[in-house]
Structure 1
């Protein structure tokens, strides 16, 4: 026997009307919103209202289930409507050069909506149709830049009894894509009725606080498959991160296949199959573009080189021992700036990267340069003496600057323009003399030291723009066993999502907030590969995403319930995100709260 009935959902001041078909018994549990928490209670024998957990969560928080939280006006309406997922129409009302990207975003949207329901569930086909209108005010713009407009407006209404209308309006494709991502998060699955529901009467105005919101992946210490990289970009798109920083080479391997210098990868790969060809990279770049994620290449120099350069005679102290004297991890290796042939190599490598990445910025590395390594070369010593630089530790900054200026010229030539260049914090970027070497209009400094490093304020005071990747909150390889020696790795302990969330660039910037471009989580891969990638990054990178998108005034406590749901959403996308709490906590809000 089956019982049919209609019931009313009461959440805050709203009324949700729906009809359900029960099985032999009514559900044992229901959820109700109480002071910002979804409270699990027993269903009464004659209960007229049974609210599903996700429906409760959608209306019990100011930001519903949205991640990252919007920064502008938000009204999540007062109704949930049953919809027919087989009857969703998406209309582009403006046409231009970004049409192919918009089409890809439409297909992704449909897939994201389909993932709301559990795998294998056949949704009921009854319900309202959904008509989505997309308005791109600059449909010919399809290129990344630091000043691109990622804002959007989203409105959802019901002009007819059997139809819901949604409109996404944006200045660019990137904002349009973000609006569709938000819209996909307003669908929920009703496990009591086997229907898909959509929030109605919604108004959202949204844009990011910071223009640079990234993840760095090091693919030189260990290799990552293309599928794992694309999966990472998918997850980034889901939380509106917009930069995949590809640290593609290092001293341990050279997996970037250079068409102009093919011997570098032939000699420098870990395995002939573990390379990234021009076709591979083009596929990743296009995949990222369609998801609003730039793919930013890094060629780290003059340190962090070795494998692949064996036959060039352009390096010094490669595999030198004891390695701790010459570098921070084995194998050691640095480029020899005195060799003119080196700059021909650099131009070719940069040109190959320009061909395939077509970036709006370029990362030149520049970290952990060792004067002891350079000083071990008689040829470099003679060059220093001839230039009357001396051989003191500080003198090697002049050699480094010599290299950087020549490499910079080659980069501009290869990329065909003066694009922004990025360097890691180092002795060369020390605020006490950085403006003797680096033009603040040409270079962006990426901070990897602690979030309270005096260098931050010093660089900001000098007018430099910064990207924050302070290791004490944003190095996701921290907190595991040591890979050289015993004990834990150098930057332990493990960094939880709470610390990531509370790591505010605005606090570090103080009165120089406009010079902070954003932040980036880094996954250095000495102890990670494709098998561990998802768990290392997610859901912690989602915490970074909300911090950089919204720069919320509150701490992680206010985001905890939405974070738990975001982790569930990533799991539905087949992202193997780490578990944060027992599922009991997800169903019993507030009881695991500290």
Structure 2
């Protein structure tokens, strides 16, 4: 990349706007020692001034600073911009008929994002070069609605070029829709609004080769403890798409409520939802799944069992210790409830639930939950005790783990029945069932992925990896975003306090956690368990911390959070422009005065 000094001259484009002392107070930026420095504009320096987005593009470490997450591959670009005519942006998109609705939706979203940073379209300067955006798929043989799987190639290349006074061209090449969609996302981040000249500008030339470091890049949302509207879920998917996260893990039900419409078992949601208005209908779910597809996101359902069940099941006589008191003797939070695996009528009902979930979500990976099973809950049931003793079992912990293994085998059979020949990959949470020696007895490594929710340094992670299981990392000491609130079942703060800052999320290195077993790490998820969060606080809990996770999972940076801070501040502002209620990180002064706010520990003076 060339030095930036010539940029100040090259960017002195023909400015059709007056600037005098009577106008608004206007600031521009200069790149000094790889840092954007704010300067007051006057008649002498106006012509060579650059805006903050342009400065962030060029002033850094060789990667356009407006792109989040940072590209993982080769990046090469020239340090000057071209003015784009906002009324002359053309798209040449694949003509696959079954994908037409996806490309149309992506085009519409691209244009919405383009204008998100423009405060008033009426002040936007007209004229400039046409922009031609071309998407080329390497294979167009299969005209099908694309499905994101663990084998999907999400890579893309983006080439921006121009010559003389001709149109600017942006060509995105990818294997499939999902990679191409990521390319459009990156393109939108190098097409910026210059608030000095009040025009749209794009990099004059760029070559970007990009692909994700990890296959699984997710967020988990629990919609049982508190209900979240379809609108708020879609807003989360919008933000996920911006940072190329690809998995929305939907923890739909729990012991607190059952908001999922199951038409074959209507009593579950009619009795289990908080109200008739707080139910996800089949139409709602289909809408969310397709909304995610457009944005490159799989919507993966979780049906947590055998624990974490209660409301909705009261009349079915197949739940142990439902709402038992004192609750702390039977579960980790009220209301308690676990399936009774000895009830044969339970499994046809599970099959009904699984069938409808598979019809709605068509998942390539299905989450069966499996955490926080209480032996004391099961041991409080005489029916369960009698069944186990009749089998010739005892009533020790290992016997109850055997009962758990029995449930998991029967439940998996029902999953395979409704999935027909697909045999989807199954994910379970870490638990006593995933401990040695039980994991060897009950869980086939060819079928099960294990989602880690213990600390990142837990020795049990290596026990799981040594046995050949693939894992998804959600270590609570870095990726539980509900941590840091007040206690709600006890005094003080909640169980996983303190609050986790974006810096710790960014530096949560999955390679360090996995050690010699890096190849078995599918990726990671950040989780929001919603006991103390609802849709009114959802955005600020996820964002911008989930963006820190997104860069960790996309480019797996070797640098620490300090090298990303200036870009993160800019990115957070962009999320706000896109109507995502991202939490403020610093005063806006810090955004405009790069690297003047953070202080290293060794620089502190008291």
Q: Structure 1-normalised TM-score?
A: 0.96
Report the secondary structure of 1:98's partner residue.
helix
Measure the CA separation in 2 of the matches of 1:593 and 1:100.
Answer: 46
Measure the CA separation in 1 of the matches of 2:9 and 2:316.
Answer: 72
Aligned to 1:267: 271
Say which is worse superposed, 114-123 or 103-112, in terms of deviation: 114-123
Shift of 1:23: 2.5
Aligned to 2:29: 31
8 Å CA contact retained: 2:304, 2:368: yes
8 Å CA contact retained: 2:365, 2:426: yes
Report the secondary structure of 2:173's partner residue.
strand
Match of residue 248, structure 1, among 225, 249, 252: 252
Work out whether 1:440 is the aligned partner of 2:436.
no
Shift of 1:395: 1.4
**For 1:362-441, what aligned pairs fall within 5 Å after superposition?**
362-416=366-420, 417-441=422-446
Aligned to 1:55: 54
Over residues 494-539 of structure 1, what are the superposed CA-to-partner deviations in whole Å (9 max), with x where a residue is unaligned?
A: 0000000000111111111110000000000000111111011001
Match of residue 292, structure 2, among 288, 293, 300: 288
8 Å CA contact retained: 1:298, 1:362: yes
Say which is worse superposed, 209-218 or 88-97, in terms of deviation: 88-97
Aligned to 2:13: 18
8 Å CA contact retained: 2:7, 2:80: no
Q: Which runs of 5+ in 2 are unaligned?
A: 600-606
Over residues 297-351 of structure 1, what are the superposed CA-to-partner deviations in whole Å (9 max), with x where a residue is unaligned?
A: 0000000000000110010100001100100000000000001100001000000
8 Å CA contact retained: 1:217, 1:247: yes
Work out whether 1:76 is the aligned partner of 2:77.
yes
Aligned to 2:501: 496
Superposed CA RMSD in Å reads 1.6
Aligned to 2:107: 106
Change (3 A) 1:230 1:93: closer
Aligned to 2:172: 168
Shift of 1:109: 1.0
Measure the CA separation in 1 of the matches of 2:462 and 2:328.
Answer: 31
Change (3 A) 1:243 1:446: same
Measure the CA separation in 2 of the matches of 1:582 and 1:127.
Answer: 35
Shift of 1:42: 4.0
Aligned to 2:137: 136
Change (3 A) 1:179 1:106: same
Change (3 A) 1:234 1:119: farther
Shift of 1:486: 1.9
Measure the CA separation in 2 of the matches of 1:63 and 1:270.
Answer: 48
Measure the CA separation in 2 of the matches of 1:170 and 1:97.
Answer: 18
Q: Which runs of 5+ in 1 are unaligned?
A: 1-8
Work out whether 1:334 is the aligned partner of 2:335.
no
Shift of 1:28: 5.5
Aligned to 1:320: 324
Report the secondary structure of 1:385's partner residue.
helix
Work out whether 1:85 is the aligned partner of 2:83.
no
Report the secondary structure of 1:503's partner residue.
coil
Shift of 1:122: 3.5
Report the secondary structure of 1:488's partner residue.
coil
Measure the CA separation in 1 of the matches of 2:130 and 2:119.
Answer: 21
Is the strand fraction higher in 1 or 2?
1
Shift of 1:29: 3.5
Say which is worse superposed, 257-266 or 160-169, in terms of deviation: 160-169
Say which is worse superposed, 571-580 or 51-60, in terms of deviation: 51-60
8 Å CA contact retained: 1:316, 1:373: yes
Shift of 1:10: 3.3
Over residues 555-594 of structure 1, what are the superposed CA-to-partner deviations in whole Å (9 max), with x where a residue is unaligned?
A: 1001101101111111011001000000000000010122
Measure the CA separation in 2 of the matches of 1:75 and 1:257.
Answer: 50
Measure the CA separation in 2 of the matches of 1:119 and 1:496.
Answer: 34
Aligned to 1:192: 196
